[in-house]
Amino acid sequence: MRLALAVLLGLIVAPACAVLPAPVLQALRAADIPATSISVMVQSVDGGPARISHRAKVPMNPASVMKLVTTYAAIDSLGPAYSWRTDALMTGRLADGVLDGDLVLRGGGDPALSIEQLWLLLRDLRARGVRDIRGDVITDRSAFAPTRHDPGAFDNEPLAAYNVGPDALLLAHNALRVRLLPQAGGAPALWAEPPLDGVQIDNRVQL
């Protein structure tokens, strides 16, 4: 009994363990990941000393764990029921299906705005009677005023979709999709979605 009590007291007053638990070390070895490649800290949210502290102060690539911080900040600032808005506004007069003015797409920062959602927006506009637009289609991105963004600053992968900067009217994650369609007796057809002026595909694909 005294031995068990002594062991229990030792666990309570012991400092943070710098050695990872055996099951964790075993899993790392199975995945061929050196223990020196990770940082771990286990601590109660109520405070107190860390139960496990392994290279806790070594700077590491935060990876997806940082999503917890940004998600918490978004919920705290915007609320759990917040909904992103992308508004379609008209200038001028709409009569007999003809808009004698401009159509303004005002972005509200929706990070998941897709081309398919734009199709639905066009369908809704037609349902409201818009058949012909005599003015321009104007995009309003003024909701955000971010500083100049370097997409390669994080991991030297400027073309990666996850490195896109904030934008009030971000479409399809600012990514370009290249479609491929096999052709009988020749090179496959390639095209970009959405089509962009100035973007030309040099098709050298062989099947």
d(CA 82, CA 100): 34
Enter the pTM of the model: 0.66
User: Is the model's pLDDT at 97 over the cut of 70?
Assistant: yes
For residue 186, give Cα distances in angstroms to 90, 177, 179, 192, 207: 47, 22, 16, 19, 8
**Phi, psi (rounded to 5 degrees) for 83:** -130, 130
DSSP annotation of 149 = P
d(CA 194, CA 176): 7
Tens-digit pLDDT profile for residues 99-140:
999 999 999 999 999 999 999 999 999 999 999 999 999 999
Tens-digit pLDDT profile for residues 80-91:
999 999 999 999
Give the chain's end-to-end CA distance (angstroms, integer): 75
In this structure, what token pair is assigned to residue 24? 């964790």
d(CA 25, CA 190): 48
d(CA 182, CA 25): 48
Q: Which residue, among 105, 190, 54, 82, has the nearest Cα to 200 in the 3D structure?
A: 190
- Report yes or no: 136 and 122 within 8 Å, Cβ to Cβ: no
User: Is the model's pLDDT at 10 over the cut of 50?
Assistant: no
Phi-psi region of 172 (alpha: psi -120 to 50; beta: other; left: phi over 0): left
Tens-digit pLDDT profile for residues 22-81:
999 999 999 999 999 999 989 998 888 999 999 999 988 777 888 888 899 999 999 999
Please report the domains of the chain, with CATH numbers, ordered by start residue: 2-60 (no CATH), 90-175 (3.50.80), 176-207 (no CATH)
- Report yes or no: 15 and 49 within 8 Å, Cβ to Cβ: yes
* pLDDT score at 131: 95
Which whole number is the average pLDDT over 174-203? 85
